[in-house]
Amino acid sequence: MEKLSLQFQQHFDASPADVFHAWSDAEAMLQWLVASDDMTTTIHHVDFRVGGTFKFDMKEANGTNHVTDGEYKEIVPDEKIVIVWTCGETHDASLVTVELKPNGSGTDFTLTDQDFESEESMKSHNEGWKGILAHLQKFLA
């Protein structure tokens, strides 16, 4: 069976360095890493280096907690981040690739999330990324 994937493309009015910082700094991540306005994020750790790991929770207002952890597989400053992204409830792992390309005074951004085990997992990630990227857009504005 062929593995499923998602891709999001967006333009940010921020430099590649600023977008990269948003993904690499735990304090910055706290400002935008939520899937919806009624969620709060707790970052347990971010060890931003190849082979380093991260773990965070996104808690909904109703108390539902979404635990996510992963490992950084590739990092090219201001250009690319590759992550194994694992959702704690299902233990579904996917491969997330963030690519940054300068465009004028801003950045063309591509996020690819691939290797889903199920359609259900892909749909859940799709909804999550839509919210997360909307919050990232606001953070970088």
Q: What is the pLDDT of residue 121?
A: 84
pLDDT of the residue at 49: 98
SS (H, E, C) the chain: CCCEEEEEEEEECCCHHHHHHHHHCHHHHHHHCCCCCCCEEEEEEECCCCCCEEEEEEECCCCCEEEEEEEEEEEECCCEEEEEEEECCCCCEEEEEEEEEEECCEEEEEEEEEEECCHHHHHHHHHHHHHHHHHHHHHHC
pLDDT per position as a tens digit, 8-18: 999 999 999 99
pLDDT of residue 80: 98
For residue 14, the enclosing domain spans 4-140
pTM value is 0.92
- Residue numbers of the chain with a pLDDT score lower than 50: none
pLDDT at 129: 94
* Domain CATH for 48: 3.30.530.20
**How many domains, the chain?**
1
How far, in Å, CA of 78 to CA of 82, rounded? 13
